[in-house]
Structure 1
Amino acid sequence: MITEHLITDAAALSALYPAPVARALGKESPVLTPGYVELLAAAPFCIVATHGPAGIDCSPRGDPPGFVQVLDERTLLLPDRRGNNRLDTLRNLLHDPAIALIFLIPGMGEAVRVRGTAVISTDPDLLERCRIQGVLPATVLVVSVDCVYFQCQRALLRSGLWDPAAQVDRSTLPSTGRLQQELGQFTAAQAAEYDATLADYAAATLYEGPTKA
């Protein structure tokens, strides 16, 4: 890497980009306005970013639309379902309560970004609010909102994320079994067996059951 091309200070960075327009800076809100409440109610997917001793981590979360509930204009409730049990997000929050979320709504170009802090709760009443198919989440994250704003649609337009023509045939990409084989976890035969049963296993254990990850 040629170090003379590295940007190492804010002044050099600012010189490369035009100043943001006032509305880009002014669109941040310290509370969830009624419009944002409606958007979150329509979101079936979000990405959760946290920070821990090993660095920054991002993790996907998804459930039926509205799975992240608005308790009030400053508080969100995010269920944590049983998954691979690595607990990266939760362990990070024990180290540093800072959290950031990006919500995506299929067909909508804008994303909703939320920053704040979170605590991990096993409050029975909060768990009950997140029951799906008779199953409670293991824990819930209670997120205190510091800032919410929408991200313009350029990224999703450029990526063609919601364009059906952009969908990739999964069989043309490395399978999860192959990825684990390359890490020495599986033999070729084990990878093939894993891939052959993964879809049925995932469907059967979507909200409960042992982990296959």
Structure 2
Amino acid sequence: MTTPTAATQPLDTRHSAQEDVFALVIATILISFSVLMLRQSGVMTGGTAGIALFIHYNFAVPFGVAFFALNLPFYYLSFRRMGWQFTLKTFCAVGLVSFFSDQHGLFIHIDQLQPFYAAALGNLILGVGFLILFRHKASLGGVNILALYLQEKYGFKAGWLQMGVDVCVLIASLTFISLPILIASVAGAVLLNFIIAQNHRTDRYSA
């Protein structure tokens, strides 16, 4: 009988609870900082975060409050379709982003930020944060839950669905932002979803 070697033994790719907690904190700090950049420059984004920014800009509701409240209806779908562990991690991620997004301003204030630069860098950071969450079986709720469910169930790439929703949200924002800011916002949304579509693939990552 041959003894399995280290090379032939199956690898345990599951994340530990400590790794999940650490990843959620890192991801939500990155995401909330990118939200700060977008808010400081007046740039929009898509999905649930875009709707929260829409409410923030038009009704002076704190972004964190709007974002947390908008996600509440999606947890039932998350629990039914994705399981309690995914739902719990997502609830924690949404709560942390809601909290951190309104705290960064206490420590940093950016007086001048070029919108196209903010859209590019902000969405790049946002994409990295999303990938960390996705790879630890979590999301930021809302459209993320629906997109991940469709990818898990039917193989439809999460990034492409989110891109369609994002474009709709951004077009609606023309009621209060200028055309150049809209162009920067759309470019940022395309970059974000391209990053997700290219890097979040179940055939390449199984943890």
TM-score range (shorter-chain normalised) is: under 0.3
Structure whose CA Rg is larger: 1
TM superposition score normalised by structure 2: 0.26
Q: Using CA pairs under 8 Å that are at least 6 residues apart, name the structure with larger relative contact order, 1 or 2.
A: 2
TM superposition score normalised by structure 1: 0.25
Structure with greater proportional strand content: 1
